[in-house]
Structure 1
Amino acid sequence: MRTSVWPVVFVCLLLTSGLGLAGLVTATPHPETESNGLTENETATLWSRDADEYVNETVYRQRYGESRTPIQQLANGTDITFTRPPATAATWTRNDFGDLSAGSTQTSVYPDHASLTSGRFIDDAHATFFGVHPSTRGHLEAGETPLYVAPNGSVRGFVDYRVRIPAGHHSNRSSVTWSLVDDEISEVRLKSDGDVISRSTGTHTPLLAYHLDETWSTTLTLEADIDVRLEKTTTVSVGNRTQTEVAYRTETITVADSLDVEVYNLHAYAYDAAYPNGDTGIAIFQSRPWQGYTLTEDGDARVRGVWRFYTARDPRWDRLTQATATDETEIHSEAHPVYVHAYPSRIGPRADPIRDGPTIIDSWGRERTSPHSTLPDTVAVEVVDRAYTPTYGLAVRTAELDRDALRVTGIVRDSNATPITSSVGRGPDRELRESRLTADVVTQTNEQATVHIELQDTETGTPIDLTADERQVSLNGESGGGYITIADQRVRTNESGVAVVSIDQPGVYTARYHPGTWLVANPAYVSDTATVRWHPLGTLNGWIGLLIEVGWQFIPFVVTFYAGKQVLRFFGPRDDSERYP
């Protein structure tokens, strides 16, 4: 980024803090000036796919004779990302769809990715998906970029064709001419795995509402029937008589386009526990990527997972082909569908408020590789560049919780749900117990010390055996359970609640108990710490060794001092008794 951008970036960061913008990295503005139901600032945030060619405000005013808002300036030099799936993509697509125009009877207009079908009289026919909303394209990892669609939404499509009218012929005694009587798109249908779920009368730009039941994934098919009726007139001259025969020819073809989607039914499950000090532990799981959850009615206390969002147009609609019987011309498209994209961010999970809000204590999910390669080169966002955990589960500790206000938000716009929990109305699932950790130096030499660690249930005094925890499996499928750390070592107590550790460097050490997650451990405990100090001078042998070592170190100084004293005595001045015998 050029240095001239930085003042603008700083100002816009302040201005956009309340808009749900998550991060700011490099992009250019879209050339369209129409609003399509959006404000100027909202329109400026749409175009993450565009190349990064920042134009400073002075040059822009000279070139276009107008000024830009701070957000427009920022979007000219950066990509803007969001903490929640924005509505701007669907709003733009809905309004820009009105600019999509079909060709004439003998001209077909289609994007390059359209699947063209031709018959005897119908040519270059197609039905192509333009937009499905609400939806979000997920970037999970290389080779996996599903399109998540809401269970209830709408599909916009584009249907066009041209009519091929056969050429007539004439001779001395006969002639054949063809003319178009009628042509139409008789019906448009939307199917889910082959079953019709919505239909409409024929139109070049169909809009179909859909409802998908409890379906995990499906193939949506946009289908259209095109009918053509032509008149064939044959004239035959026999002597002085002319015979005319009129016949009609019809043709019906069906064109279709298919789209694989994941139906985003948000069903989350919550589990909670009570901490001894009155805090509450909340863990929420969802089997697909989700945005986060709120803990209070006002939404101030909330948790976000690893997912962030950006919006970008579908570049396949940038150019269209206009085809006739004799020519094909590439034209600029007046309509651009825009989609929301979700990606795992390097920022990672976050809890708000930052200082005195919830504390994230654990997250779960099958580890995935970075989806960096699935994002276009022109999209510069803070996507993870290494293996990551997609936070299908998030657990927090919080002092603020309104169980009735607990709401989960998905990665598809307007996907919200109240998590299913067995504890609603009757308190937490589990109460966490306090633990007591002690650490003492039991033996020591000049070289090392042995530390005796003991872990007990504070209330009952029962030893806590962490080797039993070791046999548990965590929600990530790895070995789980609690453990104790001290002096860069990880240990577990035995069935007597005891662990022994050797340390070989003097110092002050803190032993810390890291309990296993309360979702797995039973009983479950909270953390505790203990401090132990060790230095060789703490023993009699240590003092004797120190004195011996110091003595050896001082021998050269003693010898030097004695030798110097003797030299001075020999060469130095003498008193009168020694001078005159």
Structure 2
Amino acid sequence: MSAQLVRAHALVAVLVVAGGITSVAAADPPRPGTEDNGLTENESATLWSRDTDDYISQAEYRERYGETRSPVQQVANGTDVTFTQPPATAATWTQHDFRDLDPGGANTSLHPPHADLADGVFIRDAHATMFAVQPSTRAHLDAGETPLYVAPNGTLRGLVDYRVQVPGGATGNTTSDWSLLSHNITAVRLLEGGEPVANTTGSQTPTLAYRLPAEWATTLTLEADIEVRLQHTTRRDGEPVETTVETESVTVHDSRAVEVYDPSVTTHYATYPNGDVGVTVFQARPWQGFTLTSSGDARVRGVWRFYTARNTNWDTLVRATQDGTTAVESDALPVFVHAYPSRIGPRTEPVRRGPNLIDAWGVTRASPAGTLGDNVTVDVVNQSYTTTYGLAVRADDVDHDALQVRGVVRGVNATVTEPADGAARELRSSTLSVRVRDRTPTHATLRLELRDARSGAPIELDDPARRHSIHDASRDGVIAIGDQQVATNASGVAIVTVDDPGIYTARYQPGSWLSHEPAYVSSTATVRWHPLGTLDGWVALLVDLGWRLLPFAVVYYAGTRLLRLLGVDTRFQ
């Protein structure tokens, strides 16, 4: 596994753990190292995001079990740990744990409580129930939408079971003897949209490898045919009168709505004047992010993070016999990957030296926090968020041949090839100038001019002809100066009036290159304005100062005249 940063909630700790991680779960999850499940102890400790997170100290753990825990196990005991990419641990655990399912014999049917049971005359408590479909990811989009995304190529595991009710009895001097000749599952099928895509011979724990067409929403159905043969002998006064063979068949099934996850990616490129490359990637469903270089060092991540949790429907099983039913603890727990929008939001890596995230867009959705289930503590958004179906970055190094989009379903990626010649947009340099056109003692009129740095052509910001929207990204460019935003006209000119003396910096904020052709990079210009910068300003200042001092002069003159009338000024002299 690759090292990843893990966030711990209840326990104040930060770890680096391989492959991206989640937390300990289950009503009573197996203690790490107690089962052969194909995982290391650290990996199995991080599977369970639906446990109660009842943390116990190292000392208490050592006293209880006679051993110590690793730092990963200790954190997983006290909190839920999240992943930056869908981990393989859920599928590995499920594959190994599935082997522990022990179906009943002819007299016993084993089924989860949610199984859809079917009864015939002799066949009772029959069912076919899906255990797991993998690779897959349950995406928590909002409060009303949590689709199950499945890989186009994957594996379905299920449990098929039943019991045989053998009749018997006597009426007067006539008796009916029944004996079970045979019972078996004659066929197991996987249907997609009603059409078979995989089948196997009769098995109570079938494993079906499938290949699905690249559709959107569809339905997977696990279907099984069960058949029993019984011999019926009628006796009168102890002598056989008639012997027949009775056959019964029952078909059982379990269906699940899924979405086949097969990313179809569109990309756009731009070149900056300094040689940097702009890249946008758009995919109409949640996706994890993309890499920009063959080494994988430069990465972009969207809003989605991951955790793993068991399917609680399999916490207990029901053993059904002719005498009744009994609840038993399940020996097999399927674990699934879940995707959720994180408060961390989209980001690039490396954090300081990586690509610059310049735009993100998508659908605005409500928080899906209520869909995560009990005892799941992750950094899910608690308000509306943007799905980041589209991401745009600026980077100094992009290897088009290595550009790879990573999906939210493990192993499902899309490789993006370099665009055709002429497909990349060129970002041009712009020149912004600003000067004082007119001024008065109270305000100044500034003239701003924006032009193409190479051709000198004026740049009109409010020009619909320049807009070529990509995925509705149509932000217009503006020039910001002071607390105002203005757009240039067809001559590339805008006029602004300011009334506070000082230094003004005008900044051209281009519209997104996704929506403008030609597109430009930003530029700035500075101008200084003050009333004392002109002769009129000085005159106005002196006149204003004179009017402000006039009351003081009047008071002074009146005071001196009064002192003279009273003779006070003579005594002082």
TM-score (norm 2): 0.90
Structure 1 residue identity aligned to 2:526 = T
Which of 507, 510, 531 lines up with 2:505 in the alignment? 510
Match of 2:3 in 1: none
Distance in 1 of aligned mates of 2:158 and 2:473: 47
Q: Does residue 402 of the first structure (1) align with residue 399 of the second (2)?
A: yes
Query: What is the CA-CA distance between 1:361 and the residue it aligns to?
Result: 1.4
Give the distance between the partners of 1:473 and 1:377, measured in 2 at CA: 47
Q: Secondary structure at the match of 2:370?
A: helix
**Corresponding residue for 2:532?**
537
Alignment check: 8 A CA contact 1:313 1:337 kept: yes
Aligned residue identity for 1:198 = A
Q: Which residue of 1 aligns with 2:462?
A: 467
Q: State whether residues 89 and 338 of structure 1, in contact with CA within 8 Å, keep that contact through their aligned partners in structure 2.
A: yes
Q: Which amino acid aligns with 2:101?
A: L
Q: Which position in structure 2 is the counterpart of 1:131? A: 132
CA distance in 1: counterparts of 2:434 and 2:25, whole angstroms:
56
Q: CA deviation at 1:546?
A: 3.8
| Residue identity matched to 1:92 | W
SS in 1 for 2:354: coil
Shift in alpha-carbon separation, 1:470–1:375, aligned structure 2, 3 A? farther
Deviates more, 1:444-453 or 1:195-204: 444-453
1:116-146 Cα shifts (integer Å, max 9, x gaps): 1111111111101110111111111221111
The 3 A distance-change label for structure 1 pair 382 and 8 is: closer
Q: By how many angstroms is 1:470 displaced? A: 8.6
C-alpha change, 1:453 and 1:61, in structure 2 (3 Å) is same
Aligned to 1:263: 260
Correspondence 1:424-573 to 2 at 5 A: 426=421, 429-469=424-464, 472=467, 474-475=469-470, 477=472, 479-550=474-545
Which stretch shows the higher mean deviation, 461-470 or 312-321?
461-470
**What amino acid is aligned across from residue 182 of structure 1 in structure 2?**
S
TM-superposed deviation, 1:558: 7.4
1:499 aligned partner, one-letter code? A
Deviates more, 1:537-546 or 1:121-130: 537-546
Please give the residue correspondences for 1:312-391 in structure 2 after superposition, counting only pairs within 5 Å: 312-391=309-388
- Deviation of the 1:53 alpha carbon: 2.4
CA contact (8 A) 1:281 1:396 kept: yes
Assess, with a 3 A threshold, how the Cα gap between structure 1 residues 338 and 498 changes in structure 2: closer, same or farther.
Answer: same
What is the Cα-based RMSD across aligned positions, in Å? 2.9
AA of the residue aligned to 1:79 = D
User: In 1, Cα distance between the equivalents of 2:24 and 2:416?
Assistant: 37
1:28–1:75 Cα contact (<8 Å) kept: no
Residue 225 (structure 1) shift: 0.6
Residues 456-515 of structure 1: CA distance to partner in whole angstroms, max 9, x if unpaired? 111111111111149847445375332222223222111111112223333333222222
**Matched residue, 1:417:** 414
> What residue is the counterpart of 2:219 in the other structure?
219
Give % identity.
54
Give the conservation status (yes or no) of the 8 Å contact 2:25–2:309: no
SS state at 2:82 partner: strand
- Structure 2 residue aligned with 1:15: 16
- Please name the residue that 2:288 is paired with: 291
Deviation string 1:78-123 (CA, Å, 9 cap, x unpaired) is 2111111110110111111111121232221111221111111111
Whether the aligned pair in 1 keeps the contact of 2:473 and 2:512 (CA below 8 Å) is: no
Equivalence for 2:55: 54
Structure 2: stretches of 5+ with no match in the other structure: 1-7
Q: Residue 120 of structure 2 aligns with which residue?
A: 119
The answer to whether the 8 Å contact 1:271/1:421 transfers is no
- What is the correspondence of 1:149-228 to structure 2 with a 5 Å cutoff? 149-171=150-172, 173-228=173-228
Task: For 1:228, give the aligned amino acid.
Answer: V
Q: Kindly provide the CA deviation profile for residues 405-426 of structure 1, in whole angstroms up to 9, marking residues without a partner as x.
A: 1111111101122114533xx5
Bigger shift: residues 191-200 or 426-435: 426-435
Distance change (3 Å), C-alpha of 1:288 and 1:443: same
- The residue type equivalent to 1:264 in the other structure is Y
Q: From the superposition, tell whether residues 69 and 550 of structure 1 become closer, same or farther in structure 2 (CA, over 3 Å).
A: farther
Deviation digits for residues 202-231 of structure 1 (CA, Å, limit 9, x no counterpart): 111100000112222321110011111111
Q: How many angstroms apart in 2 are the aligned matches of 1:336 and 1:551?
A: 91
Contact 1:445–1:536, Cα closer than 8 Å, also in 2: yes
Aligned 8 A contact 2:184 2:202 in 1: yes
Q: Which moved more, 1:466-475 or 1:148-157?
A: 466-475
- Provide structure 1 residue ranges, at least 5 long, that are not aligned to the other structure: none
Distance 1:452 1:229, change over 3 A: same
1:402-458: CA deviations, max 9, x gaps?
1221111111101122114533xx576222111111122222334433221111111
Give the letter aligned to residue 518 of structure 1: W
User: What is the alpha-carbon distance in structure 1 between the residues aligned to residue 163 and residue 206 of structure 2?
Assistant: 18
User: Deviation digits for residues 282-303 of structure 1, max 9, x if unmatched?
Assistant: 1112222111111111110111
Query: 1:304 offset after TM fit, Å?
Result: 0.9
* 1:37 is aligned to 2:35: no
Which AA in structure 2 matches 1:224? A
Q: Take 2:360 and 2:464, find their aligned partners in 1: how far apart are those partners? A: 19
Equivalent in the alignment of 2:98: 97
Matched residue count: 561
Query: Which of residues 389, 395, 400 is equivalent to 1:392?
Result: 389
**CA 1:571/1:39 → structure 2, altered by over 3 Å: closer, same or farther?**
farther
Question: 2:115 and 2:244 mapped to 1: Cα distance?
Answer: 34
CA contact (8 A) 1:471 1:480 kept: no
Amino acid in structure 2 at the alignment position of 1:188: V
Q: State the alpha-carbon separation in 2 of the partners of residues 543 and 375 from structure 1.
A: 70
Report the CA distance shift for 1:356/1:550 in structure 2 as closer, same or farther (over 3 A).
farther
Separation (CA, whole Å) in 1 of partners of 2:201 and 2:251: 14
SS at match of 1:466: coil
> How far off its partner does 1:28 sit?
8.9
Task: Sort the Cα spacing of 1:534 and 1:369 in 2 relative to 1 into closer, same or farther, 3 A.
Answer: farther
Counterpart of 2:271 in structure 1 is 274
Q: Please tell me whether the aligned partners of residues 30 and 44 of structure 1 are also in contact (alpha carbons under 8 angstroms).
A: no
Q: Secondary structure at the match of 2:428?
A: coil
Are the counterparts in 2 of residues 469 and 516 from structure 1 also a CA contact under 8 Å? no
Q: Report Cα offsets for 1:344-397 as digits up to 9, x if no partner.
A: 112111111122221111222222222222222421222222222212221111
Tell me, what secondary structure is at the counterpart of 2:364? coil
